[in-house]
Amino acid sequence: MNPESLSVRAMAMLRAIAAGRAEMACSSEPDLFFDGLASCDQSTAHLLSHYGLIRPARPGLLGQRVPVQLTDAGRSLLALPDSAA
């Protein structure tokens, strides 16, 4: 996967997650929350999870909000030169 395959919004979401500003609801379709507010683009949130770019930072109960973190793949994607946009 490369930065060109993700939207500008998806890359911004990854940067916010890297900055520690996000939580996710534990679910098979995890919703993201930034600075305590629900993301306006849950479809992209689901894609980031399904692509294996993000994961819960700790286990939680179904529906519980927990911190979210980048996976190794997510960190690698942000480290690419073209991801600074």
Residue 41 has what pLDDT? 95
Residue 28: C-alpha distances to residues 5, 9, 40, 44 (Å): 23, 22, 18, 14
Residue 5 has what pLDDT? 81
Residue 42: C-alpha distances to residues 13, 30, 57, 80 (Å): 11, 8, 19, 24
Give the single-character DSSP code of 82: G
Residue 3 has what pLDDT? 60
What averages of pLDDT result for each successive group of 10 residues across the chain (85 residues)? 79 96 93 96 94 96 96 92 59
User: Domain spans of the chain?
Assistant: 3-84
Total-model pTM:
0.88
